[in-house]
């Protein structure tokens, strides 16, 4: 090594090694060189440059994330359309096969009626063929409504279980009269003219094709009057209507404490049996308020049997039936036909920041009223980025956001300034909670959209999501909540029809537009 030497100015001159590196030991040995390095002024603006660079990198990361989300969403949509196409194609092939072989099957079945077991087999086969053929003629059949859309669905495997259920048919009605025209396209195009055809959301009527056999009764807890009415109703349904009764485990214990007579009442043992209730139960009766209806809907993650809600709560927008006349109401409903309201639900999924794609989401949650994203106990405003079908909507800065169904429009959304909407209208309400903006007004979005609410990375705090007031989940920066309309509505029985029941509920429950009538003896126009 060659030692460091001082030049004529006294500065340290450093010679390079054969490998091209600077001799750092020589620099450190030169005290004067070290002092000069220390005394050199810092580069101006280096902190500003670092900040700008970090912001640029964050913007790039956000753009990449949005691109990845758009790609994942497109792939999911393509997969869903492919699944629907394959499902429809399989159903058409099965229907064609059944139509072609119906004559031969009926002939063979008539020749095999030699015993009770043979009679049951023939009845089951004929009923199944009838269901397959009737689709698309007169409304919607129950085996279509109560099927969850699984492409691997094997009707033959569960046929014995499904045939125990009462079958029914839904038809569209207009002003209480049967409509000869069935569900058509809403818009038709002919010779260059666009005209409005039959509406899809008419009054809907349910007609039993076979008598109901099993009734599920759900009650409001901790109420002596509800408990007494439940025991009386169970006895009447068993003795007068010869129906099978299913109740919650808690209710069965209460009934058996009153009398051993109620030993015939059935219940379930675990959550797996709850998932199969829709294959066994023909009708659901709720004794309570709107909360009991929400509880009944939450028990069915897929198809929901018709619900008859009796009003035994403090405020009921979904409970039109009075408990005092339950015999007359149930007798009429079991005979049919009855008007029903199809109440739409929201299908919600939480996607964490560490998820690689849209499919790595937590278990889906279905809500009947609303999903709420709020700031919880934090003192900071919520900061939420909202997207509708991958299009940016807005950034919510306030106490939170409500995504509501039209059935939930008279609940939390109404208190936050949202509009009241007829429950038969399909759509999603977009209602801010105390927004820090004078121009932020609520929206009503169409039924087919998918909403995504994400907590941005620059948010000062996390957010909380609650589903129908329960199951609160913490959303960290980067987490997202995805919502769309669920394919399984909640059919609730109407006392008159959906419109009359809705108007009665807002008049009686909210005293909507109630005021004294203007005096007639005041000044008049000349």
Residue-by-residue DSSP string for 98-141: HHHHHHHHHHHHHHT--SHHHHHHHHHHHHHHHHHHHTTTSSEE
Which is it for strands 214-219 and 244-247: parallel, antiparallel or unpaired?
parallel
CATH code assigned to 346-488? 2.60.200.30
Distance separating alpha carbons of residues 402 and 466, to the nearest angstrom = 10
- Cα torsion for 144, 287, 411, 352, to the nearest 10°? -60
Tokens at 508, concatenated: 């009686």
Q: Is 150 a catalytic residue?
A: no
8 Å CB contact between 283 and 216: yes
Confidence of residue 55 (pLDDT cuts 50, 70, 90): confident
- The Cα 95–Cα 275 span in angstroms is 28
Q: What is the mean pLDDT of the chain?
A: 78
Each residue's pLDDT tens digit, 166-205:
887 777 665 444 444 444 444 444 555 665 555 544 688 8
Contacts of 449 (CB under 8 A, 6+ apart): 388, 389, 428, 484
Q: Where are the domains positioned within the chain?
A: 208-336, 346-488
Alpha carbon distance 276, 162 (integer Å): 10
Percent of the chain with pLDDT over 70: 72
Which CATH topology does 208-336 take? Answer: Rossmann fold (3.40.50)
Q: Which listed residue (110, 148, 180, 290) is catalytic?
A: 290
What SS3 class is residue 279? helix
The DSSP secondary-structure symbol of 381 reads P
Alpha-carbon distance of 329 to 231, in angstroms, equals: 17
Higher pLDDT, 135 or 60: 60
Give tens-digit pLDDT for 464-523.
999 999 989 999 999 999 999 999 999 999 999 999 999 999 999 899 999 888 877 777
C-beta of residue 368 within 8 angstroms of C-beta of residue 297: yes
């Amino acid at each position: 090594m060659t030692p460091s030497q001082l030049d004529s100015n006294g500065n340290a001159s450093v010679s390079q090694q054969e490998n091209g590196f600077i001799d750092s030991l020589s620099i450190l040995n030169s005290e004067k060189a070290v002092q000069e390095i220390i005394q050199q002024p810092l580069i101006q603006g280096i902190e500003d440059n670092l900040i700008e660079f970090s912001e640029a990198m964050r913007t790039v990361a956000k753009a990449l994330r949005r691109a990845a989300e758009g790609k994942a969403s497109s792939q999911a949509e393509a997969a869903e359309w492919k699944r629907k196409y394959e499902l429809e194609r399989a159903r058409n092939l099965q229907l064609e096969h059944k139509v072609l072989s119906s004559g031969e099957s009926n002939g063979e079945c008539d020749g095999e009626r030699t015993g009770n077991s043979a009679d049951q087999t023939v009845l089951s086969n004929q009923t199944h063929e009838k269901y397959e053929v009737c689709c698309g003629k007169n409304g919607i059949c129950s085996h279509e409504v109560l099927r969850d859309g699984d492409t691997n669905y094997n009707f033959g495997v569960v046929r014995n279980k499904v045939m125990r259920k009462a079958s029914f048919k839904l038809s569209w009605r207009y002003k209480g009269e049967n409509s000869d025209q069935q569900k058509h396209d809403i818009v038709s195009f002919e010779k260059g003219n666009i005209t409005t055809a039959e509406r899809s959301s008419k009054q809907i009527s349910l007609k039993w094709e076979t008598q109901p056999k099993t009734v599920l009764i759900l009650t409001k807890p901790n109420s002596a009057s509800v408990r007494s009415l439940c025991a009386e109703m169970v006895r009447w349904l068993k003795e007068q209507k010869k129906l099978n009764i299913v109740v919650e485990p808690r209710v069965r214990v209460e009934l058996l404490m009153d009398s051993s007579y109620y030993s015939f009442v059935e219940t379930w043992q675990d959550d797996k049996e709850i998932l199969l209730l829709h294959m066994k139960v023909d009708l659901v009766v709720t004794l309570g308020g709107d909360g009991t209806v929400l509880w009944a809907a939450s028990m069915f993650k897929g198809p929901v049997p018709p619900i008859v809600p009796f009003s035994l709560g403090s405020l009921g927008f979904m409970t039109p039936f009075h408990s005092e006349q339950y015999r007359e109401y149930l007798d009429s409903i079991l005979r049919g036909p009855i008007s029903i309201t199809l109440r739409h639900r929201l299908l919600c999924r939480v996607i964490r920041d560490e998820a690689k794609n849209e499919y790595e989401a937590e278990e889906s949650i279905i809500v009947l009223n609303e999903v709420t994203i709020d700031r919880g106990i934090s003192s900071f405003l919520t900061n939420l980025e909202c997207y509708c079908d991958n299009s940016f909507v807005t950034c919510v800065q306030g106490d939170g956001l409500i995504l509501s169904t039209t059935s939930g429009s008279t609940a939390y959304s109404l208190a936050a300034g949202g509009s009241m909407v007829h429950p038969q209208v399909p759509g999603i309400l977009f209602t801010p909670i105390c927004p820090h903006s004078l121009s932020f007004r609520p929206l009503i979005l169409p039924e087919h959209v998918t909403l995504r609410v994400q907590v941005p990375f620059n948010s000062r705090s996390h957010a909380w999501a609650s589903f129908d007031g329960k199951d609160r989940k913490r959303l960290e920066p980067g987490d997202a909540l995805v919502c769309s309309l669920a394919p399984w509505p909640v059919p609730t029985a109407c006392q008159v029809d959906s419109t009359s029941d809705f108007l009665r509920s807002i008049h009686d429950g909210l005293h909507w537009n109630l005021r004294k009538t203007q005096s007639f003896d005041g000044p008049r126009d000349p």
